[in-house]
């Protein structure tokens, strides 16, 4: 699959070596666009795609709930992008270098420095995204039982760097946030484990969910129903979860008119919510409560989470959010904070601590010629996959323009970065290694006691072992 090439009124041949740090959608889109742009100019480009994990795809593999095969289908498109370009023919009778080369299990700043990359490439693109939870500055947020949504998502998606177990001993839990991550967390907590058996959920996660004590999941948003940040399909799927009742409160819908919605997506979602309000009281064994106009004030408990306090909010005449002075307490034994993500910095790269991004102008990193950014580390953790694609297009357009203007310095070293990694004994993985791991996980799915497309290999060392055994070429 090819993305739209970057256009140029006066193409000229280019010969570039570019490093991309991060092999999630942002990095892969950037690599695909750059390869197409250079091919359009009859030039040559060698792109090395560095990833700190042994496998590619970033948050698509480790940040999307396992019961979302439609979204995970994006992996197929990303795979085609990485697999579409042939090896570079540099006159060697046995060329071994791909146009886009995946180098996994390598963390920039630990296994190789940013300076090492800048010495060997005309340009470096930072596409590290955001994997940490944004801070929620309220009392009690550090109590045991208070969790970041990103950590929980990493656990149920089998991220190799998180613990294999998760405490699911709470019967009543709160989820703070009104975006798709909050819905994913709430749905996985409320859903019966048996209904996840056909997904790629890892075995240790399935075992944990099967022993879960959860009966009630409360989702809280600071604003009202007309300000939700969900997508229609995510919301609709919530109402299709077996043996789970959706509970809403009429007071939250005063003055809310679906016909007055600002766009069709919101109109659909408000109609969905109103449809749930009209349902008769249910008798399911689990309940998912949606609360609006609730601003978190404090998490409370003696040694661990026992309750959470909110202040009711409303919108003033200008639409600004104001607090009402009315407080409400909910008895819960766990809290999940889904209030956003925070960017993943790269050692020695500029970083805006307040915003969690790399300072940049349209993808050009401030005061750093040859250094670029794309994706969430460029613009902050907002937007969907489509935004990531257009974001990469802007960055690559600027990189190509800089190259054509002669603004990119030639690499100071011709040494292959893999030789550096080999000399240091780094256990990096390759694209062929990923194909081996992918095939291995699919075979596990075929032979598993539950029918699955795949069974994820979770431990990092096992991923590396399978990948390196299957890595046939550099």
Which class for 260: exposed (0-12), middle (13-18), buried (19 or more C-beta within 10 A)? Answer: exposed
Taking the C-alpha atoms of residue 154 and residue 188, their distance in angstroms, rounded to an integer, is: 13
For the ranges 64-68, 76-80, 250-254, the one whose mean pLDDT is highest: 250-254
What number of residues does the chain have?
474
Taking the C-alpha atoms of residue 244 and residue 242, their distance in angstroms, rounded to an integer, is: 6
Which tokens in the block code for residue 459? 């431990």
pLDDT value for 473: 35
Furthest-apart CA atoms within the chain: distance in Å: 76
Could you report the per-residue pLDDT of 172-201, keeping only the tens digit for each? 999 999 988 999 999 999 999 999 988 888
Taking the C-alpha atoms of residue 214 and residue 65, their distance in angstroms, rounded to an integer, is: 18
Tell me the three-class secondary structure of the chain, residue by residue. CCCCCCCCCCCCCCEEEEEEECCCHHHHHHHHHHHHHHHHCCCEEEEEEECCCCCCCCHHHHCCCCCCHHHHCHHHHHHHHHHCCCECCCCCCCCCCECEEEEECCCECCCECHHHHHHHCCEEEECCCEEEECCCCCCCCCCCCEEEHHHHHHHHCCCCCCCCCCCCCCCEEEEECCEHHHHHHHHHHHCCHHHHCCCCCCHHHHHHHHCCCCCEEEEECCCCHHHCECCHHHHHHHCCCCCEEEECCHHHHCCCCHHHCCCHHHHHHHHHHHHHHCCCCCCCCEEEEEECCEEEEEEECCCCCCEEEEEEEEECCCCCEEEEEEEEEEECCEEEECCCEEECCCCCCCCECCCCECCEECCEECCCCCEEECCHHHHCCCCCHHHHHHHHHHHHHHHHHHHHCCCCCCCCCCCCHHHHHHHCCCCCECHHHHHHHHHHHHHHHHHCCCCCCCCCCCCHHHHHHHHHHHCCCC
Taking the C-alpha atoms of residue 363 and residue 334, their distance in angstroms, rounded to an integer, is: 39
Half-sphere exposure of 287 (CA within 13 A, CB side): 12
User: What's the whole-number mean pLDDT along residues 18-39?
Assistant: 95
Residue (of 308, 310, 309) closest to 333 by Cα position: 308
CA 3, 376, 374, 75 dihedral sign is negative
* Cβ atoms of residues 141 and 336 within 8 Å: no
- Relative to beta strand 341-343, strand 130-133 is antiparallel
pLDDT value for 1: 41
Half-sphere exposure of 20 (CA within 13 A, CB side): 35
pLDDT value for 88: 57
* Cβ atoms of residues 257 and 137 within 8 Å: no
Could you report the per-residue pLDDT of 239-267, keeping only the tens digit for each? 889 999 999 999 999 988 888 888 999 99
Could you report the per-residue pLDDT of 390-416, keeping only the tens digit for each? 999 999 999 999 999 999 999 999 999
Q: Which residue has the higher pLDDT, 280 or 464?
A: 464
* Cβ atoms of residues 274 and 258 within 8 Å: yes
Percent of the chain topping pLDDT 90? 71
pLDDT value for 80: 85
Residue (of 116, 102, 2, 89) closest to 48 by Cα position: 102
Mean of all residue pLDDT scores within the chain: 90
Residues forming beta bridges with residue 87, ordered by sequence position = 98
Residue (of 290, 136, 274, 281) closest to 218 by Cα position: 290
Q: Which residue has the higher pLDDT, 224 or 5?
A: 224
pLDDT value for 124: 98
Taking the C-alpha atoms of residue 114 and residue 311, their distance in angstroms, rounded to an integer, is: 46
pLDDT value for 474: 31
Phi/psi for 266 (5° steps) reads -65, -40
Taking the C-alpha atoms of residue 277 and residue 94, their distance in angstroms, rounded to an integer, is: 66
CA distances from 48 to 125, 311, 348 (A): 10, 50, 19
Taking the C-alpha atoms of residue 386 and residue 115, their distance in angstroms, rounded to an integer, is: 32
pLDDT value for 65: 87
Residue (of 313, 340, 346, 295) closest to 116 by Cα position: 346
Residue (of 170, 180, 160, 39) closest to 104 by Cα position: 160
pLDDT value for 229: 85
Taking the C-alpha atoms of residue 439 and residue 35, their distance in angstroms, rounded to an integer, is: 27
Q: How far is CA 98 from the centre of its chain?
A: 26
């Amino acid at each position: 699959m090819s993305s739209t090439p970057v256009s140029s009124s006066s193409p000229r041949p280019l010969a570039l070596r570019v490093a991309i740090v991060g092999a999630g959608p942002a990095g892969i889109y950037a690599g695909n666009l750059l390869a197409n742009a250079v091919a359009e100019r009859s030039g040559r480009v060698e792109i090395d795609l560095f990833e700190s994990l042994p496998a590619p795809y970033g948050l698509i593999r480790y940040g999307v709930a396992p019961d979302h095969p439609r979204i995970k289908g994006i992996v197929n498109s990303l795979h085609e992008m990485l697999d579409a370009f042939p090896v570079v023919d540099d006159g060697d009778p046995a060329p071994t270098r791909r146009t886009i080369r995946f180098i996994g299990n390598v963390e920039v700043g630990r296994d190789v420095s940013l300076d090492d990359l800048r010495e060997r490439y005309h340009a470096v693109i930072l596409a590290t995204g955001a994997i940490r939870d944004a801070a929620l500055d309220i009392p009690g947020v550090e109590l045991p039982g208070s969790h970041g949504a990103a950590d929980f998502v990493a656990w149920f998606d089998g991220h190799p760097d998180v613990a294999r177990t998760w405490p699911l001993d709470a019967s009543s839990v709160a989820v703070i946030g009104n975006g798709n991550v909050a819905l994913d967390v709430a749905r996985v907590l409320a859903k019966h484990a048996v209904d996840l058996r056909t997904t790629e959920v890892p075995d240790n996660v399935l075992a944990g969910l099967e022993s879960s004590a959860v009966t009630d999941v409360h989702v809280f948003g600071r604003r009202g129903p007309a300000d939700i940040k969900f997508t229609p399909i995510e919301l609709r799927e919530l109402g299709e979860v077996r043996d789970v009742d959706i509970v809403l409160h009429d007071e939250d819908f005063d003055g809310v008119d679906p016909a007055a919605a600002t766009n069709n997506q919101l109109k659909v979602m408000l109609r969905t919510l109103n449809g749930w309000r009209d349902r008769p009281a249910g008798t399911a064994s689990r309940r998912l409560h949606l609360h609006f106009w609730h601003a978190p004030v404090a998490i409370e408990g003696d040694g661990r989470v026992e309750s959470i306090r909110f202040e009711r909010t409303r919108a003033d005449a200008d639409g600004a959010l104001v607090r009402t002075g009315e407080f409400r307490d909910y008895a819960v034994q766990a809290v999940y904070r889904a209030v956003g993500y925070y960017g993943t910095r790269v050692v020695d790269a500029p970083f805006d601590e307040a915003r969690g991004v790399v300072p940049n102008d349209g993808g050009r990193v401030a005061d750093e010629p040859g250094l670029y950014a794309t994706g969430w580390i460029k613009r902050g953790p907002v937007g969907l996959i489509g935004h990531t694609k257009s974001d990469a297009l802007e960055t690559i357009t600027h990189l190509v323009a800089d190259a054509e203007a002669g603004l990119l310095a030639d690499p100071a070293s011709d040494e292959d970065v893999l030789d550096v990694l080999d000399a240091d004994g780094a256990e990096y993985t390759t694209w062929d290694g990923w194909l081996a791991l992918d095939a291995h996980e699919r075979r596990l799915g075929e032979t598993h006691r539950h029918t699955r497309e795949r069974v994820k290999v979770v431990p990092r060392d096992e991923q590396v072992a399978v990948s390196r055994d299957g890595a046939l070429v550099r």
